[in-house]
Amino acid sequence: MADLRTNFADIKSPNPFWLASGPPTNTYGQVAKAFDQGWGGAVWKTIGEPIINVFSRYGSVDLGATRMMGFNNIELISDRPVAENLKEIAEVKRNYPTQIVEWVKEVATIPVIVKLTPNVTDITYIARAAVKGGADALSLINTINSIVGVDLSTFEPQPSVAGKSSHGGYCGPAVKPIALHLVSAVAADPSVKIPISGIGGIASWRDAAEFIALGAGSLQVCTAVMHYGFRIVEDLIDGLSTWMDERGHRTLADVRGRALPRVTTWEELDLNYHLLAHIDQDKCIKCELCWTACEDGAHQAIRRLPRDNGGPVVEIIEEACVGCNLCAAVCPVQECITMRQVPNEYPPVSWKEYAAGKGKLAPRSEHFHTATWAPSPK
Ligand SMILES: Cc1cc2nc3c(=O)[nH]c(=O)nc-3n(C[C@H](O)[C@H](O)[C@H](O)COP(=O)(O)O)c2cc1C
Ligand code: SF4
Ligand code: SF4
């Protein structure tokens, strides 16, 4: 089995999965239970005085049948006294000496992990400031400023506190793409050479592996635990180690940052890499969702065919397809629409090179420029 042991800023843990600061790390009982179930570490819920929270403090965004696709909170702080929390943190340290609360004995000071907010224009600027200030590691992201909705019968923004609300912090699966981008941006910054703990929408081993591939040295989870409980750690550990075994990655270091060299800027991308949508007619269920999307929302590059002969009902108009991917994204059947490379003999050329007069663009279809609206047959 792959070795998931983690040494993050001299904090050793049996696996990279830590509970993020939040309601699941409120009490000794919760953290102890989580450790018993296999969590590698825990960041205690923020504590302080005075203890004042509002009533009704969570808002949720559902997507179809998926509950809590996005989650938002206006919770400031632990509802429990500081002294009580400190007593329980000491108890955790006593009873779970091998979890995150143990740090390498040779170091004299407790590692400081600075948690970064995403609510800034350029997170790398803040990350560099934290490094300058002596941080041992960074964790990101904290929650994103948000209002999750408005009750249209009362005009109360949600979650409502006696008829009013304030912006809250957004988290859960909806924020993962933002978190992945920010983790990669910080990890790629040459002046940030300290470990990064990835947070934001992690709910599966795949999410975890993606964060690690983009440079995270450990992972933190809050919303998924609030939704499904501590037991998800079993799937996280099993899934990650099975995948690592299958791919021949022995340790997390073999995976960490592997995707980073592939993150670049738009002007560095190859303009001569051309794609075309391809429909597997054997898989097509004839729903025509791809046609609607391409017709109204893209490039009118799918032709509708008469339904009466029992054959295909949609086909790609190759000279009109710009390879944008929209049809593949809307098709409800896995792998029914795939994007295929159209080879050409032109060497790669980036916008940067092209704009500087270097390199040649492979020809693009005239149709891209000349297409006009022409209704498809009914
Ligand atoms: C209800 C709730 C309370 C939170 N409280 C804290 C907190 O006290 N301190 C803190 O640093 N982060 C807090 N967070 C933020 C989480 O630690 C985490 O950064 C964020 O939720 C993104 O991760 P997730 O998508 O796995 O939830 C809280 C999050 C939630 C949902
Ligand atoms: S890839 Fe884009 S342009 Fe091509 S068929 Fe699909 S939606 Fe239309
Ligand atoms: S969206 Fe997919 S399944 Fe539906 S018609 Fe298009 S190719 Fe067929």
User: 128-165 pLDDT, tens per residue?
Assistant: 999 999 999 999 999 999 999 999 999 999 999 999 99
Average pLDDT over residues 326-345: 97
Judgement on whether residues 181 and 106 belong to the same structural domain of the protein: yes
Q: Does residue 176's CB lie within 6 angstroms of at least one atom of ligand 2?
A: no
Residue 101's pLDDT is what?
45
Among 221, 238, 262, identify where a domain stops. 262
Judgement on whether residues 254 and 293 belong to the same structural domain of the protein: no
Q: Does residue 173's CB lie within 6 angstroms of at least one atom of ligand 1?
A: no
318 CA distance to ligand 2 middle (Å) = 9
The answer to whether residue 378 sits within a structural domain is: no
Look over the chain and give the mean of its residue pLDDT values, rounded to a whole number. Answer: 94
For residue 300, give the ligand 2 atom closest to its CA. Answer: 8
CB count within 10 Å of CB 363 equals 9
Judgement on whether residues 247 and 294 belong to the same structural domain of the protein: no
Give the residue with greater pLDDT, 378 vs 316: 316
- For the stretch 294-311, pLDDT in tens is 999 999 999 999 998 889
87 CA distance to ligand 1 middle (Å) = 22
Nearest CA to ligand 3 atom 6: 290
Q: Does residue 115's CB lie within 6 angstroms of at least one atom of ligand 1?
A: yes
324 CA distance to ligand 2 middle (Å) = 5
* Cα Rg of the chain (Å, integer): 25
Among 238, 262, 286, identify where a domain stops. 262
Average pLDDT over residues 76-84: 95
Nearest CA to ligand 3 atom 1: 331
Judgement on whether residues 94 and 209 belong to the same structural domain of the protein: yes
Judgement on whether residues 186 and 322 belong to the same structural domain of the protein: no
Judgement on whether residues 244 and 280 belong to the same structural domain of the protein: no
Can you give the CATH number for the domain in which 14 is found? 3.20.20.70
Note whether 293 and 280 are within 8 A (CB). no
Judgement on whether residues 36 and 180 belong to the same structural domain of the protein: yes
313 CA distance to ligand 3 middle (Å) = 9
Can you give the CATH number for the domain in which 359 is found? 3.30.70.20
Confidence grade of residue 365 (pLDDT, cut at 50, 70, 90): confident
Query: Is 70 exceeded by the pLDDT of residue 105?
Result: no
The answer to whether residue 1 sits within a structural domain is: no
Among 262, 279, 302, identify where a domain stops. 262
The answer to whether residue 184 sits within a structural domain is: yes
Q: Does residue 201's CB lie within 6 angstroms of at least one atom of ligand 1?
A: yes
The answer to whether residue 243 sits within a structural domain is: yes
Q: Does residue 175's CB lie within 6 angstroms of at least one atom of ligand 1?
A: yes
Residue 371's pLDDT is what?
57
The answer to whether residue 144 sits within a structural domain is: yes
- For the stretch 240-273, pLDDT in tens is 999 999 999 999 999 999 999 999 999 999 999 9
Average pLDDT over residues 42-49: 95
Taking Cα atoms as reference points, which of 204, 201, 165 lies closest to residue 58? 165
250 CA distance to ligand 1 middle (Å) = 31
Whole-number Å distance between alpha carbons of 284 and 332: 9
Q: Does residue 279's CB lie within 6 angstroms of at least one atom of ligand 3?
A: yes
Judgement on whether residues 197 and 137 belong to the same structural domain of the protein: yes
Judgement on whether residues 237 and 144 belong to the same structural domain of the protein: yes
- For the stretch 182-222, pLDDT in tens is 999 999 999 999 999 999 999 999 999 999 999 999 999 99
Judgement on whether residues 72 and 162 belong to the same structural domain of the protein: yes
Q: Does residue 284's CB lie within 6 angstroms of at least one atom of ligand 3?
A: yes
Judgement on whether residues 240 and 288 belong to the same structural domain of the protein: no
State the residue range of the domain holding 288. 269-370
Give the residue with greater pLDDT, 369 vs 72: 72
**How many structural domains comprise the chain?**
2
The answer to whether residue 200 sits within a structural domain is: yes
Residue 375's pLDDT is what?
57
The answer to whether residue 375 sits within a structural domain is: no
- Proportion of the chain above pLDDT 70, given as a percent: 94
Ligand nearest to the CA of 331: 3
Query: Is 90 exceeded by the pLDDT of residue 1?
Result: no
Confidence grade of residue 97 (pLDDT, cut at 50, 70, 90): confident
Query: Is 70 exceeded by the pLDDT of residue 57?
Result: yes
Confidence grade of residue 108 (pLDDT, cut at 50, 70, 90): very low
Note whether 295 and 376 are within 8 A (CB). yes
143 CA distance to ligand 1 middle (Å) = 6
The answer to whether residue 376 sits within a structural domain is: no
Judgement on whether residues 243 and 334 belong to the same structural domain of the protein: no
Ligand nearest to the CA of 319: 2
